[in-house]
Homo-oligomer: A and B are copies of this chain.
Amino acid sequence: MPVIDTRPSDESSLVLHSIGAVERSSGLSKDTLRVWERRYGFPRPQRDEHGERVYRSDDIEKLRLIKRLIDRGYRPGKIVDLPAADLRTLTETLGEDDTPPGLQRLIDALKGHRAAELHSHLAQLMVRDGLDRFILNTVAPLNYHVGVAWMKGQIEVHEEHVYTEMIQSLLRGAVGSLPASERAPTVLLTTFPNELHSLGILMVQALLGGKGANCISLGTQTPIEDIVAAAKGHQADVVALSFSAAFPTGHLLDGLSELRERLPPRVDLWVGGGHPALTRRNIDGLTVVTRLDEVGALLEAWRATHRAR
């Protein structure tokens, strides 16, 4: 593994990077980088004495901008040729701003790196409103607006990380201090492989746990095979999954029908999250939860139909 981190040759940082380093710092795979070079002519790195690619820092910067735009729905072919300045203006012009002032103050604290202030503010809200209302009125909308701000490039990656981490910490703390319950139903929460977003299942776990359901979280990325095994092992009544908007639609539909097929029929399958396919398509034998505040009613409905066990 060659380390191609040549010292700066002039005052500007002209550090050079191997394709492996670029893969790491841009999130684009080596295959993708090579095929872009072939097709679009960008990036066209220099070569070292052995013919291996050597990328300049400002090319990496541009790759990062492109990646951000792609995550927002732009297509590579349309934007790879644009100069970096145009890309930057593109990132700044998207999404309208109607964030309520209460939430805006929290977002400002996040952007201002006032982590302690943000944390105490959130904790205060949780105590004041109670877990249920805190999630429905604060966390869920805040998630949305942080997402919008991120799309517009107003929030840095690390700021988004701090936010996610903080919400997780608060919710998990709250979940952990809920009174242990063995009351039905037993709900298994998780996501499919390649779905990293854990806030969705965490919010649902908190909501259900608050109403006395027996929640068991598997965290993220559980293979279908192991979801089935876990449902049997824990004698779950419900399996709950969450999908963010970025999850590939084909995998979602295939995975859900496979899971439905392999799960015992008596086990309910609840699916939620921001994925667009959930509201459009229709798969037999599963319950789609489009809004968080439906969760409580769903639980009640389950208990009503299973009262006489």
**Bound-state Cα–Cα, A119 to B97, Å:** 43
**Chain B residues whose CB sits within 8 angstroms of the CB of A91 once the complex forms:** none
A28 to chain B, nearest CB (A): 11
| Size of A's binding interface in residues, CB under 8 A | 69
A21 near B: Cβ within 8 Å?
A: yes
Q: Judging by beta carbons under 8 Å apart, are A261 and B5 in contact?
A: yes
**Chain B residues whose CB sits within 8 angstroms of the CB of A119 once the complex forms:** 180
Stretch of A34-42, A75-83, A157-165 on the interface side:
A157-165
Closest to A177 in B: B173
A248 near B: Cβ within 8 Å?
A: yes
Known: A20-B251, A229-B156. A25 touches B224 (CB 8 A): yes
List the number of copies, as a whole number.
Answer: 2
> How would residues 1 to 45 of chain A score, 1 for a CB under 8 Å from any chain B CB and 0 otherwise?
101010100000101001011001101000000000000000000
29 A-B pairs in the complex with CB atoms less than 8 angstroms apart: A1-B253, A1-B254, A3-B250, A5-B224, A15-B261, A20-B251, A21-B193, A24-B251, A24-B254, A25-B224, A25-B225, A113-B234, A116-B182, A119-B180, A123-B176, A156-B229, A157-B223, A158-B218, A159-B230, A161-B219, A161-B222, A162-B216, A162-B218, A165-B219, A172-B172, A172-B173, A173-B174, A173-B175, A173-B177
